[in-house]
Amino acid sequence: MSSCKTSEFTFQSSVHSTHVLRCLDEQRRKDLLCDMTVMVENRGFRAHRSVLASCSEYFSTRMNNHTGPGLIISLPDELTAEGFEPLLQFAYTSKLLFTKENVLEIHNCATVLGFKNLDQACFDFILPKFFDSSKSSSKVQRSCCKTKCWRAKDESSFKNDGANDTGDVSSAAQLSKKQEQNVSSNLSETAVRTCSPCPVETEADTETESDYSSLCPKYRKFQLACGKGQSNTDTEPENTESSCSLNCLPCSSSEKCESADTLSSKTSTGIIEEDAASFFCPLAKQSPVETPLNLCSGKSSPQMCPVTQGSFPPPQSAGKVAESSSVRVSGKECIMSDCRTGTVCPNPSTEKRSSVEMEVANQLSAWPDIYSSCVSEPVSSSYGQGMAVKSSELQWLKQLECPFLRDLGAVDAQVRCSEVTSRSAECSYISSINSGEDSDSFDTEGDSESCTSEQASLLFAQMQLPFSVAGIVSLSRNDFQQMLKTQQMTREQLDFVHDVRRRSKNRIAARRCRKRKLDCIHNLECEIERLRSEKEKLTAEKRQLDQLRLKTRENYSVLYDRLCAEAKLQPEQLQVFAKYTSLAECPFSTHLSTKAQLYHPSEPELQPRASCLGTDTGIYEPGTSTRSVNTQNLAASDLRSTEPPHTGNNKTMSISTDQISKPETDQS
């Protein structure tokens, strides 16, 4: 405590600025404390001078000489309200909403007004995406226009970029020259940055496919066939990792281009958000609950739970983290974030996570093996340093509400197991190894296979190996071999270490594999359920359509008969009529053909008119050789039986097969 009194503490909230901005935006909307009006195209926009002056060089310059109240600034004629309004919103929300239609206007306004953080480079990236003929605006636009994503560029290159842009945005380029003289002086001195062309996917479908890239071929095929995302596997660290690797594609440059926002793929409206959190894995924003721990490509993540070099924060502090914040204690920074909200606490001063943080992230990904290993291994080594913690020091992790740590309850069993194991004086596994038996023997001699990692850890201690099981598992191959080189180990020890590493890796792989299998089974079950319900729905729809079709057919039949009766068509006319109405898809083509057949000139002896006159001589005699067209379908007859008497005209369609010269072959 005495040292704490003399230490200097800094609390830095990453959400404070957001809150302030939000309040200012609310004030603007309510016209509270607004001290200026911007006139564009006869439209007035109320705003705060300080906000606009801090965002725009243009406003900053214009306001220098005005200190009185009621300042009204009219924008140049070439600017439009359509272009200015999104910029005003951007000034207050750090989000730029744009469409293909107004992006040019916005670009013009931003250029003229010298909006900071909306550099030319941003539009350099966006505009080609919009106006490239091969791209559709409805596609996903991924922008890499984060300020952190931009690399410093000299003014000349900036101008070159601007020249390159003329192909797409000629009007904007024309404006830029004149406007640069006024406002871009500051832009240039602030090291105009451009966006390195991150190799991001711009096609939504490509992104979807990439999502499945982490799956094994078999399951990938299934997932692709199902067209489903990794609904259940999202909570799995390795899948999160794969997703992150997709969304956090590194820039081609060496700059720390963490990610680009995934814009909405369903609308053509883009959103560029200048948010600290957005510099990192977008999954944090997309599904914060489903993304427990961001382990982008095995690297550390700002979503990392509180971890420091061997000194963990107390449970109460970790468990009550209400908002993203970073606490700097004596020069060391503890990253604290709320896993539930997905907020992050990027440290602006540190570009990379410490190796310990990265190591812990890796170790957590292998949870709970590492957890149990950590508990049972008080190994102090450069390799195991990050993991050599007591179980009591890890208890605070359980108090976090990170979904990733949900299984801690299950882990407790292993912890207890490991503790018991560590207390046991004898271990058959150890004895077998020490006796010089083949390492395979410990497969069958272990008391519990769930404790084999702890037993191996114990053996490490027995063999005085200065590293942990978790350590050698998490190391890359090069690091692992380098580590072995630094150690003076016997052949037996080397074999043993290699064996443990291989088995541990395979153990983890087997878990992953089984988890995938279960997910696959679950997905299949869901798919079966979905298909079943879809089938029922389609069946009901088909039934409805069938009834409707029969009804229509009957109505049409009635109309046809009435037409025949009223028009008193001659057989030749009926034939022609039937010819031009007997479309293939017409349900009455057969009917008409039959009628036409009835009136065929070669059969003058037939008396078709009898059936067309609506008389009962049309012969409908159930049980006889007569056949009704409508009785070709049982459902039709059922329907007729429920129809009112007016459908009795159907009888007129009844045809005696005796009257037809050749037998009717259509029995269907």
Partner DNA sequence: GATGGATGTCATTCT
Partner DNA sequence: TTAGAATGACATCCA
Distance of alpha carbon 616 from alpha carbon 331, whole angstroms:
105
507 touches DNA (CB under 7 A) = yes
Smallest separation (angstroms) from DNA to the CB of 256: 25
- Name the 3-class secondary structure at 450: helix
Using CB under 7 A as the criterion, what x/- string covers residues 287-316 for binding DNA?
------------------------------
Using CB under 7 A as the criterion, what x/- string covers residues 194-233 for binding DNA?
--------------------xxxxxx--------------
Number of residues that bind DNA (CB under 7 A): 38
Using CB under 7 A as the criterion, what x/- string covers residues 232-271 for binding DNA?
------x---------------------------------
- 181 vs 478, beta carbon nearer DNA: 478
Distance of alpha carbon 365 from alpha carbon 360, whole angstroms:
8
**β pairing state of 150-152 and 193-195:** antiparallel
Smallest separation (angstroms) from DNA to the CB of 474: 10
439 touches DNA (CB under 7 A) = yes
Using CB under 7 A as the criterion, what x/- string covers residues 369-388 for binding DNA?
x-------------------
Smallest separation (angstroms) from DNA to the CB of 392: 23
Smallest separation (angstroms) from DNA to the CB of 10: 39
Distance of alpha carbon 435 from alpha carbon 430, whole angstroms:
8
506 touches DNA (CB under 7 A) = yes
Distance of alpha carbon 408 from alpha carbon 423, whole angstroms:
22
The number of angstroms, rounded, from the C-alpha of 460 to the middle of its chain's C-alpha atoms is: 43
With CB under 7 A as the contact rule, the residue among 143, 325, 376, 504 that binds DNA is: 504
Smallest separation (angstroms) from DNA to the CB of 491: 17
The number of angstroms, rounded, from the C-alpha of 534 to the middle of its chain's C-alpha atoms is: 25
512 touches DNA (CB under 7 A) = yes
437 touches DNA (CB under 7 A) = no
Smallest separation (angstroms) from DNA to the CB of 647: 58
Q: Where are the alpha helices (DSSP H) in 291-341?
A: 315-319
User: With contact defined as beta carbons under 8 Å apart, do 318 and 400 qualify?
Assistant: yes
444 touches DNA (CB under 7 A) = yes
447 touches DNA (CB under 7 A) = yes
**Cβ count within 10 A of residue 486:** 10
365 touches DNA (CB under 7 A) = no
What single DSSP character describes residue 56?
B
Distance of alpha carbon 31 from alpha carbon 185, whole angstroms:
32
Interface residues for DNA in 401-430 (CB under 7 A)? 410
Smallest separation (angstroms) from DNA to the CB of 493: 17
Smallest separation (angstroms) from DNA to the CB of 420: 11
What values do phi and psi take at 36, rounded to 5? -160, 160
Point out which span in 164-172, 199-207, 497-505, 588-596 binds DNA (CB under 7 A). Answer: 497-505
With CB under 7 A as the contact rule, the residue among 390, 502, 542, 543 that binds DNA is: 502
Distance of alpha carbon 166 from alpha carbon 148, whole angstroms:
26
Beta bridge partners of 37: 46, 72
- 161 vs 238, beta carbon nearer DNA: 238
Q: Where are the alpha helices (DSSP H) in 81-134?
A: 81-93, 103-113, 120-131
Smallest separation (angstroms) from DNA to the CB of 248: 19
Smallest separation (angstroms) from DNA to the CB of 217: 4
- 504 vs 597, beta carbon nearer DNA: 504
Handedness of CA 62, 68, 74, 80 (dihedral sign): positive
Smallest separation (angstroms) from DNA to the CB of 436: 16
Query: String of b and e for 296-321 (b: at least 16 CB within 10 Å)?
Result: bebbbbbbbbbbbeeebbeeeebeeb
With CB under 7 A as the contact rule, the residue among 23, 32, 494, 513 that binds DNA is: 513
328 touches DNA (CB under 7 A) = no
- 338 vs 519, beta carbon nearer DNA: 519
Using CB atoms within 10 Å of the CB of residue 208, give its burial: 0 to 12 exposed, 13 to 18 middle, 19+ buried.
middle
- 335 vs 370, beta carbon nearer DNA: 370
User: With contact defined as beta carbons under 8 Å apart, do 100 and 116 qualify?
Assistant: no
Smallest separation (angstroms) from DNA to the CB of 212: 12
528 touches DNA (CB under 7 A) = no
Distance of alpha carbon 424 from alpha carbon 430, whole angstroms:
11
Point out which span in 186-194, 307-315, 445-453, 646-654 binds DNA (CB under 7 A). Answer: 445-453
- Name the 3-class secondary structure at 122: helix
User: With contact defined as beta carbons under 8 Å apart, do 501 and 480 qualify?
Assistant: yes
**What is the DSSP secondary-structure string of 130-148?**
HH-TT--TTS--EE---GG
443 touches DNA (CB under 7 A) = yes
Smallest separation (angstroms) from DNA to the CB of 215: 7
Region of residue 333 (left: phi > 0; alpha: psi -120 to 50; beta: else): beta
Interacting residue ranges for DNA, rule: CB under 7 A? 214-219, 238, 369, 410, 439-440, 442-444, 447-450, 452-453, 476-477, 480, 499, 502-507, 509-514, 516-517
